[in-house]
């Protein structure tokens, strides 16, 4: 007879959002046995961004338990023992195969059922896999993806086995740029391949991208733009040996790393809850169209107050903050206290080699570039502003200090008026420091 377990609150998913929600539940007060986290991963919630950065460093790499939540935002580190001390049940290595929101029941792949009163959907995203497109040879060995700690371990093993070998990185977004840098640091020859005219096209202007592409080229990373992988060759053992490109070129490869995007994991709830823009539609408290069911992190499409529209955000900062907001709202409902609506300023960042950039706001309108964007400079520092309706909507800065990053965040939040773009370009970072 399959067992059944009941909890007052269930968090489905064990990533960043789940960990920060658990911390907030503890802060607001939760009785032992009331809260469970159900995760398909084998470890307690951790700061996922470490996987593409410090986890892969050749010297002194990050390892668990070092980067469990909430260290990434300067909070305390929640070890597995923390959950047991608080009476929070951590149900790991458990895949939920069926969710029935009407009967408030989740059923695992092994037939265990979990019932709840309040559900937080924190299932996050999964990588888009080239096998999904039927790319020939996409299931060869050493064609790797990065989402979870198991993926990172496979990549570490491959880098060690193929020291001095060749890697092809497919994709020109965050994962492509961060992993190309880290493969290079591990003494691997790297070629990046992506179909767009420049890297990070969803955020970077041509000017910004030109800096990073030149910087990477100076570090020995080869970049092939405007084409895609259409197939892979493998040897008799099934190990990848080459990547075939659409333009006819063939690149030798011992390792292939694919970073072509992610999609939110919402399939369990199809037809049971309102959806919008690829995610689960929520209000400003992250409650869905089904009362008592909340969605947080990557899967939530929520009202972004600043821009007066529904958006879905795939970023660690929003995972943390949406988790805290939902739990405050749940607890507020119980105590009859009102909670302010979610106010989110979009924020993205990346680090690779000796570089570090931050972006705040919305990348709409015209752009200006300011500062020193010479990729051969000892310490490049430059940025961009996005101007729409004579106001600054977005701000980007490479090489900023913590105070300078705070200043550009403030610009994006307050949207100061701009009379003259030439003046703004001359003022550059000074403009932000005056706000």
Residues in the chain: 435
Q: How far apart are CA 102 and CA 116, in angstroms?
A: 11
What pLDDT is recorded for position 388? Answer: 97
Closest to 288 in 3D by CA, of 115, 37, 120: 120
What pLDDT is recorded for position 6? Answer: 98
Do 186 and 56 meet the contact criterion of CB atoms below 8 Å apart?
Answer: yes
Cα atoms in the Cβ-side hemisphere of radius 13 Å centred on 128: 12
- Residue range 266-271: mean pLDDT, rounded: 98
Do 252 and 241 meet the contact criterion of CB atoms below 8 Å apart?
Answer: yes
Q: H-helix or E-strand containing 382?
A: strand 381-388
Q: How far apart are CA 127 and CA 112, in angstroms?
A: 27
Question: Above pLDDT 90, what percent of the chain?
Answer: 99
CB count within 10 Å of CB 101 equals 19
Q: How far apart are CA 86 and CA 147, in angstroms?
A: 28
Q: How far apart are CA 382 and CA 372, in angstroms?
A: 5
The distance of Cα 388 from the centroid of its chain, to the nearest Å, equals 27
Q: How far apart are CA 174 and CA 97, in angstroms?
A: 30
Tokens encoding 366: 């015209």
Q: What is the pLDDT of residues 66-103, one digit of tens each?
A: 999 999 999 999 999 999 999 999 999 999 999 999 99
DSSP string across 159-222: HHHTTT-EEEEE-SSHHHHHHHHHHHHTT-EEEEEESSSSSSTTT--HHHHHHHHHHHHHTT-E
- Residue range 210-237: mean pLDDT, rounded: 98
Rounded to 5 degrees, what angle do the CA atoms 332, 333, 335 make? 65
Distances in Å between the alpha carbon of 2 and those of 5, 7, 113, 158, 326? 10, 17, 8, 40, 32
196 exposure class (CB count in 10 Å sphere: 0-12, 13-18, 19+): middle
Q: What is the pLDDT of residues 97-113, one digit of tens each?
A: 999 999 999 999 999 99
Q: At residue 149, does pLDDT exceed 90?
A: yes
Do 361 and 412 meet the contact criterion of CB atoms below 8 Å apart?
Answer: yes
What pLDDT is recorded for position 341? Answer: 98
What pLDDT is recorded for position 3? Answer: 81
Closest to 386 in 3D by CA, of 374, 395, 378, 377: 395
Q: How far apart are CA 138 and CA 385, in angstroms?
A: 40
What pLDDT band is residue 435 in, cutting at 50, 70 and 90? confident
* Residue 415 φ/ψ, nearest 5 degrees: 50, 60
What pLDDT band is residue 2 in, cutting at 50, 70 and 90? low
What pLDDT is recorded for position 27? Answer: 98
Tokens encoding 77: 């580190």
Q: At residue 1, does pLDDT exceed 60?
A: no
Bridge partners of 397, per DSSP, are 358, 383
* Residue 7 φ/ψ, nearest 5 degrees: -135, 150
Q: At residue 407, does pLDDT exceed 70?
A: yes
Q: How far apart are CA 121 and CA 293, in angstroms?
A: 7
Closest to 290 in 3D by CA, of 101, 424, 42: 101
DSSP code for 428: T
Average pLDDT taken over every residue of the chain: 97
* Residue 38 φ/ψ, nearest 5 degrees: -110, 120
Burial 259-289 (b: 16+ CB within 10 A, else e): bbebebbbebbeebbebeeebbbbebbbbbe
- 0.95 exceeded by the pTM? yes
């Amino acid at each position: 007879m399959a067992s059944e377990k009941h909890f007052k609150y269930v968090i489905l998913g064990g990533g960043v959002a789940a960990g920060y929600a658990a911390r907030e539940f503890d802060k607001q007060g939760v009785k032992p046995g009331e809260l469970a986290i159900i995760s398909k991963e084998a470890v307690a919630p951790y700061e996922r961004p470490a996987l593409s950065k410090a986890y892969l460093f050749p010297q002194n790499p990050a390892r668990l338990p070092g980067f469990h939540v909430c260290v990434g935002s300067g909070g305390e580190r929640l070890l597995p023992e923390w959950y047991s001390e608080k009476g929070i049940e951590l149900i790991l290595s458990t895949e939920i195969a069926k969710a029935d929101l009407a009967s408030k029941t989740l059923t695992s792949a092994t037939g265990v059922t979990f019932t709840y009163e309040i559900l937080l959907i924190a299932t996050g995203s999964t990588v888009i896999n080239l096998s999904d497109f039927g790319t020939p040879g996409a299931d060869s060995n050493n064609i790797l993806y990065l989402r979870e700690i198991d993926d990172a371990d496979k990549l570490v093993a491959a880098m060690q086995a193929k020291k001095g070998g060749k890697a092809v990185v497919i994709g020109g977004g965050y994962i492509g740029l961060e992993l190309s840098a880290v493969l290079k640091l591990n003494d691997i020859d790297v070629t990046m391949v992506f179909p767009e005219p420049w890297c990070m096209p969803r955020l970077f202007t041509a000017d910004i991208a030109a800096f990073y592409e030149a910087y990477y080229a100076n570090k020995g990373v080869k970049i092939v733009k405007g084409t895609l992988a259409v197939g892979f060759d493998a040897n008799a053992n099934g190990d990848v040996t080459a990547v075939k490109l659409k333009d006819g070129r063939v690149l030798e490869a011992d390792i292939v790393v694919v970073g072509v995007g992610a999609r939110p994991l919402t399939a369990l709830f199809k037809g049971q809850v309102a959806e919008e823009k690829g995610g689960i539609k929520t209000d400003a408290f992250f409650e869905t169209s089904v009362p008592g069911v909340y969605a947080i992190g990557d899967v939530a499409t929520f009202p972004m107050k600043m821009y007066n529209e529904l958006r879905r955000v795939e970023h660690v900062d929003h995972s943390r903050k949406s988790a805290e907001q939902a739990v405050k709202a749940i607890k507020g409902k119980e105590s009859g206290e009102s909670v302010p609506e979610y106010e989110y300023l979009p924020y993205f960042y990346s680090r690779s080699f000796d570089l570090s950039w931050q972006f705040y706001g919305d990348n709409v309108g015209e752009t200006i570039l300011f500062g020193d964007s010479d990729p051969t400079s000892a310490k490049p520092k430059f940025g961009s502003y996005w101007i729409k309706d004579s106001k600054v909507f977005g701000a980007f800065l490479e090489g900023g200090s913590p105070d300078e990053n705070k200043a550009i965040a403030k610009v994006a939040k307050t949207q100061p008026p701009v009379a003259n773009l030439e003046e703004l370009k001359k003022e550059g970072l000074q403009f932000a420091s005056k706000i």
